[in-house]
Amino acid sequence: MNARAEAPPLHRQLMQYDEMLGYRFVPGLKLRIPHEGGGYLVKTNGAGFRCNHEATPQKNRARRVLVFGDSFTAGDGVSNGKRYSDVLEDNLPDTEVLNFGLSGSGTDQQYLVYREFAKKIDFDAVVISVLVENIQRNVMKHREWSDREGAPLYVPKPWFELSECGAIDLQGVPVPQPFHCEADQSPAPGGGLFSKARQMVNGMGPEFKDKVQKLTRFQPLPEYDSPDSHAWKLLRAILLHWSAEVKVPVLIAVLPVYQYVEKTASYAGVRKRFDELAAECGVPVHHVVDDLWKFDDETRRGFRFRGDVHMTPLAHRAVGEALANQLRNIIG
């Protein structure tokens, strides 16, 4: 996956430094972001999240649901009011949904968001939305984004080290400030020839990239192929610790990347790992891809933008309605 291309395009305008999380949205924002979809409105609350509600200690409706995730949850490319968390709220009567999505984050940072903010407020259920790509972000110590001039900007993040007994130990806190590097000092992206080939394919445009991936049956996330991969064991440990801490109903929603939605790559490994996790911890896991597969090929291609891999409003609606059905079974 191309971390730099998928990160928010205006990091310094949208985000502020946070010594625990690495960064979060600037509180009190209201601005329109240019985008291929025609631009989208970003509004943030006082806590620094793209949420239409303030994270008040007491809930303002009969029930309150907290949703955690990355840019697919925060809603990159989509205005406040059109994201799946907004659709979820519209479909659950007398329910307030607080969106704690943090663009570009890993599940490790999302867990820290929960620990930092949830303990201060009342809530009745938690949705942990795991974009399957997060398995790669959790092992990173920084993300490469772009500054306002387009130069590489390295944004450090906290991370967890995994012990042999399954314990996780937080590292990298307080998180260093974002930094620039000279060309000969830039952290190595890794990947060797494969990474260079992928960059070349990406540069040929979205249509060419789609054709190559379909022909080669490109597997974007081989980390799920084995239960013994370090990246999976780390993600599994984070989710086990997180779900064990929550004292109200929890739903783990597995959000697919577009290769799985459009069936150009096999989802089998992802499904197997998360089903094993569900059996181990007793927390319901919902594979959102099953809901998206109910639509025809043309509609599923419309679930992402032409050049941006993020979900369109159409996809957000489908995901929000699906998760509302799941939550009704959990919280009534």
User: Residues of 305-330 as b/e, b for ≥16 C-beta within 10 angstroms?
Assistant: beebbbbbbebbbbbbebbbebbeeb
pLDDT of residue 34: 92
Q: Where are the beta strands (DSSP E) in the chain?
A: 15-18, 22-25, 30-33, 40-43, 63-68, 95-99, 125-131, 142-146, 152-156, 159-162, 168-171, 250-255, 285-287
pLDDT of residue 189: 45
Which residues are registered as beta bridge partners of 53? none
DSSP character at residue 38 = S
**pLDDT greater than 50 at residue 201:** no
Domains by residue range for the chain, with CATH: 3-183+221-331 (3.40.50.1110), 188-219 (no CATH)
Which residues are registered as beta bridge partners of 43? 30
Pairing of strands 125-131, 15-18: unpaired
Of residues 57, 54, 175, the one with CA closest to residue 108: 175
Segment 158-189, tens digit of pLDDT: 999 999 999 999 999 999 999 887 654 555 44
What is the number of other CB atoms lying within 10 angstroms of the CB of residue 251? Answer: 22
Q: How far apart, in whole angstroms, are the C-alpha atoms of residue 171 and residue 168?
A: 9
Segment 16-26, tens digit of pLDDT: 999 999 999 99
Return the percentage of the chain with pLDDT > 70, whole number.
85
Ranges 115-119, 186-190, 230-234, 237-241: which has the least confidence: 186-190
Mean pLDDT of 205-233: 76
For residue 174, say if its preceding peptide bond is cis, omega within 30 degrees of 0.
yes
How far, CA to CA in Å, does 201 sit from each of 7, 196, 211, 309?
A: 19, 9, 10, 15
pLDDT of residue 12: 64
